[in-house]
Structure 1
Amino acid sequence: MDSQRAGPILLHEDSLQVTDADEEIFLLYSELQAAPQEVLRGLGHVDSRKNILTVDIEISSPEMPSSPKSHHHGRSSKKAAKAKPQRSKTISLDIAQDITGLRSREGDTGSVVWKASVDFAQLVLQQLTYGTSSTSLFDKELLSKSRVVELGAGTGILGMALHSYVGQYIATDMASMIHLIKKNISSNVPNANNLSVAELDWVALQSTPAHLRRPQYELGSPDLIISVDCIYHPALVPAFVEAVEFVAGDPGAKTTVLVIIELREQGAATLLLELWLKNGWEVWRLGRDTGPPSPYVAWVAKKAA
């Protein structure tokens, strides 16, 4: 079956449409319980003790076998295929973390690097560098023209890793995080002219009268909204969903949403799906061939036509 598209995202044949939140969560957590023990872990900080954390994202070319045939004295004989040496490159980012903010500000979890952002960046960069249309979750050409808004950007690591593959990337977070994101961008990718930062506090947005929201939080009309590991507590989910609705714009807008979470709190994940489906979104779960492995799940959502 040919891949379907949701904006710049390719929905391959192992992607599943989600129509029932409880059934989806049951299937995912059943899979998680059957996973190897090393997959199960606690909070997903990379290292919350360092003020400056060096993150190395390694991208390796797939091993390609050399020709299995050779000719000797005019006769063809088969030999075992030899794998060509892998080529690899490493993207190193020195990320400033606010470890004081993590410990002193209630609800501040984005001020340190989380494994989900690093793992997802590595997955996408690997696919964009060496993948094909059948082995990638993004349509590379469409992504290069896309306006991307990230919700809950944290330290800004995902935007710094992916900005060169998109048309425009806007990293958003609470006011307390803006300085940290700008500092990291300035230190690591100072010439990234298509990478910008904007304030968007979901809870503050939720309490802002509708007629004041657009002037206060103008983000344009994005092709893609990305959020990585921001769904971890049920209390924040309604504000997150409302923020997605606001940024996506009118029901007829072209915006696609990609949410990656680490499977921890079942209630938060269930509520997200329930609200999406109730509000008229079509939701798909990316398959494991191109999406992230367990303990993560990636959902793609788009307003029903």
Structure 2
Amino acid sequence: MASPSPPPSTPIPKCPNDLFHFDDQCVLVEDADEEIMELYMSLASTSPETTKLAIDDDSGGLGFLNSNESILEITIDLTSPPPFNVPVNGGSVNLKERGQKKKPPQNRSVDNVVVRVQQDLGMLKSQKGDTGSVLWRSSLHLSTQLLRQSTYPTSYPRPIFNSDILGKSSILELGSGTGLLAVLLSRLCGRYTSSDRLENLKLVKKNCEINGIVIEDGSVLVSNIEKDKGKENRLSKVKSSENRPGHGHSKMTTIPEIRPKVVLEEIDWIAISQERKSHPERWSSSLAEENPKYDLILAVDCIYNEYLVQPLIDTLAKYCKRGKGGGNIVWVVVELRSSDVLTLFLEKWLTDPSGPWTIVRLSEKLMGHWDDKKARWVGWVGWR
């Protein structure tokens, strides 16, 4: 008697608003314990050198890029990859070394993007647990992946986003922190809203200003950026060379004449969670009427403290509308740190009374690597 064939894998449902591309390596998440076990088993299979990445480059231990400098000048490498990003010996094919001519990218020729990020180290040290005042690795790696896919679409036949839909989409970011994602991703979408507590939004506003991003009228904080056309845009495209940006052979040009706008909105997860607990009926009835339409609710590295898990779940439920075709979706990106905290988050998300939620884990191929190393993160897309 032949042995029974393994049960077929659960098919991945289509993204309801077609914003995300799901490939055949994406996974439908149905059990929190199984999902977290699979993620950490995969992480444990990496080399010790790669696993150490999470604590090598910062003193905070949670995921800070650099918690010692007040101002970071970051160069994001956007060198055009070869078609389909074919790996060779752990890296990318270098067509120049092989004697082949490298075809210029369509529409744009951008190798680097330089952005300045101001951090508030005083807030980090004086307010225990206030980690939004410094830049986290996940935000930088996510920005890099999305910018690469947007800049060189022919090299990424299966990108994370449908670029046509993204260009018209409205994004709400929860827990914006320093505002790096607002600075970089606001250029890719139709409308970008950064949200956080009021004290953190001041840092987002400052970083938008020094990088040439306009704060839209009607935001919590009004922009005082000069609208002089001759003012230099701090977020610059840098033509690559063998020299570092700023050296004699590097050519610097400014990014588009039309500067993108960012909306600032104060959103306090704790207050939302308390409202849901104290007045559940009123909270539920107000969801469809009071909230503006966002196509995507984005939360990047907001899961590190179990105390904030339920408030985040309640906030996702408040801003993610239910509905076939007309509903919006949630994208949670988090670095793999405490398995207990992530398990708790997934359990509460899957069993949230406002559901049922459909949750899909994006594949490693879609999410990308961390500087040619296996990434220590996960991206979950969810909707009701």
Q: Is the 8 A contact 1:64 1:83 kept in 2?
A: no
Distance 1:55 1:135, change over 3 A: same
**1:53 lines up with 2:52 in the alignment:** no
Selected match of 1:134 from 157, 160, 164? 157
Report deviation, 1:106.
2.2
Secondary structure of residue in 2 paired with 1:289: helix
Separation in 2, partners of 1:251, 1:109:
34
Unaligned ranges ≥5, structure 2: 1-10, 56-60, 85-97, 215-258, 370-374
- For residues 221-274 of structure 1, the C-alpha deviation after alignment (integer angstroms, 9 at most, x for no partner) is 210011111111222111001001111134665111111110001112112211
Q: Does 1:282 align with 2:349?
A: no
SS at match of 1:290: helix
* Deviation of the 1:126 alpha carbon: 0.6
Aligned twin of 1:94: 116
**CA distance, structure 2, for counterparts of residue 241 and residue 170 of structure 1:** 19
Matched, 1:227 2:299: yes
| C-alpha contact (below 8 Å) 1:152/1:173 kept by paired residues | yes
Deviations 1:82-121 (A, max 9, x none): 2527865211111110001011112200100111100010
Tell me what 2:313 maps to.
241
Matches within 5 A, 1:36-115: 36-40=47-51, 41-42=54-55, 43=61, 44-63=63-82, 82=100, 84=102, 88-115=110-137
For residue 2 of structure 1, report the CA deviation from its aligned partner.
11
Partner of 2:272 in structure 1? 205
Q: Which of 183, 191, 211 is 2:206 aligned to?
A: 183
Larger strand fraction of residues: 1
Q: Which residue of 2 is the match for residue 194 of structure 1?
A: 261
Q: Does 2:18 match 1:13?
A: no
Sequence identity of aligned pairs in percent?
Answer: 31
Tell me which amino acid in the other structure corresponds to 1:301. Answer: G
Q: CA deviation at 1:54?
A: 0.9
Query: Which of 104, 119, 128 does residue 141 from structure 2 map onto?
Result: 119
How far apart, CA to CA, are the structure 2 residues paired with 1:119 and 1:95? 15
Residues 292 and 228 of structure 1, relative CA distance in 2, 3 Å threshold:
farther
Question: How far, CA to CA, are the matches of 2:376 and 2:296 in structure 1?
Answer: 23
Partner-residue secondary structure (3-state), 1:207? helix
Give per-residue Cα distances to partners, 1:70-90, cap 9 Å, x unaligned.
Answer: xxxxxxxxxx77252786521
- In structure 1, list runs of 5 or more residues that go unmatched: 66-79
Q: Is this contact kept in 2: 1:63–1:83, CA < 8 A?
A: no
One-letter amino acid of the structure 2 residue matched with residue 103 of structure 1: K
State how far apart, in whole Å, the 1-side matches of 2:16 and 2:362 are: 11
Q: Which amino acid aligns with 1:5?
A: C
Q: Is the 8 A contact 1:149 1:222 kept in 2?
A: yes
Give the secondary-structure state (helix, strand or coil) at the position aligned to 1:241: helix
Q: Matched residues in 2 for 1:150 and 1:219: separation?
A: 14
The CA RMSD over aligned residues, in Å, is 2.5
Identify which range, 218-227 or 169-178, moves more after superposition.
Answer: 218-227
CA apart distance, 1:181? 0.5
Judged with a 3 Å threshold, the aligned counterparts in structure 2 of structure 1 residues 26 and 134 are, in CA distance, closer, same or farther, namely same
d(CA) in 2 for partners of 1:204, 1:93: 33
Give the conservation status (yes or no) of the 8 Å contact 1:153–1:172. yes
Q: Counterpart of 2:362 in structure 1: which amino acid? A: L
In 2 relative to 1, CA 183–212 (structure 1 residues): closer, same or farther, beyond 3 Å? farther
